[in-house]
Amino acid sequence: MDTYRTIAAPATGLFKDKGSKFLAFAFPVENEMEIKQHIQQLKKEYFDARHHCYAYRLGISGKHWRANDDGEPSSTGGKPILGQLLSLELSDMLIVVVRYFGGIQLGVPGLINAYRSAAADVLAHAEIIEKTAKEILTITFSYLNMNKVMKLVKDEGLEITAQHFDNECEIKIAVPLSKKDKMVHELHEFARIT
């Protein structure tokens, strides 16, 4: 299978408990650089908040993940957020929960519930979609082989993400993982693939 679940666009959510506010933000992401940018932006925007706990999963299987408590007691912030991503089988996304302390301690069970509830609320406000995992292949070929390459790309319904045509032509195509081996096999006769 080369499909996975993620969200279509950024979303926000909110949970309140005993005066504390938990602002939740969800973002579709593709790499750690995007994740860092979103976290830095939220820390700058909500600089007066006590904590910015987060969790993310990346990749078709979500094997690349991280949960961060940002100073909250161990496993009370990031892990409950991650639990929401796992329970809905979501990947290529980040959830950050920004906490404003309300003056009353919530205790470990209260914190776990608050972060889990904030993450659940933002996901309830997000549009969950199914995406196909793709790999970008660069195909280099002579101008004489243009029709063969373009016919194969069209017949397979592949997306061209970049192209440059000259005596030596180059296109970049987004290939679903399940079609990659077939495409490499069919193209190798008249094109170089990287």
Domain of 167, CATH number, reads: 3.30.70.120
Same domain, 98 and 147: no
Per DSSP, the residues of the chain read --EEEEESS-EEEEEEETTEEEEEEEEE-SSHHHHHHHHHHHHHHTTT-SEEEEEEEESTT--EEEEE-TTSSTTSSHHHHHHHHHHTTB-SEEEEEEEE--SS--HHHHHHHHHHHHHHHHHHTS-EEEEE-EEEEEEEEEGGGHHHHHHHHHHTTPEEEEEE-SSEEEEEEEEEHHHHHHHHHHHTTT-EE-
pLDDT digits (tens, 9 = 90+) for 1-24: 688 999 999 999 999 999 999 999
In terms of domains, do 122 and 161 share one? no
Q: How many domains does the chain have?
A: 2
**Average pLDDT, integer, range 108-119:** 96
Give me the pLDDT at residue 1, please: 67
Looking at the structure, tell me whether residues 58 and 104 fall in a common domain. yes
Boundaries of domain holding 54:
3-131
pLDDT average, residue stretch 86-93: 95
80 and 12 together in one domain: yes
Q: Reply yes or no on whether the pLDDT at 161 is more than 80.
A: yes
Give the CATH number for residue 38: 3.30.230.30
Please indicate, yes or no, whether residues 68 and 159 belong to a single structural domain of this protein: no
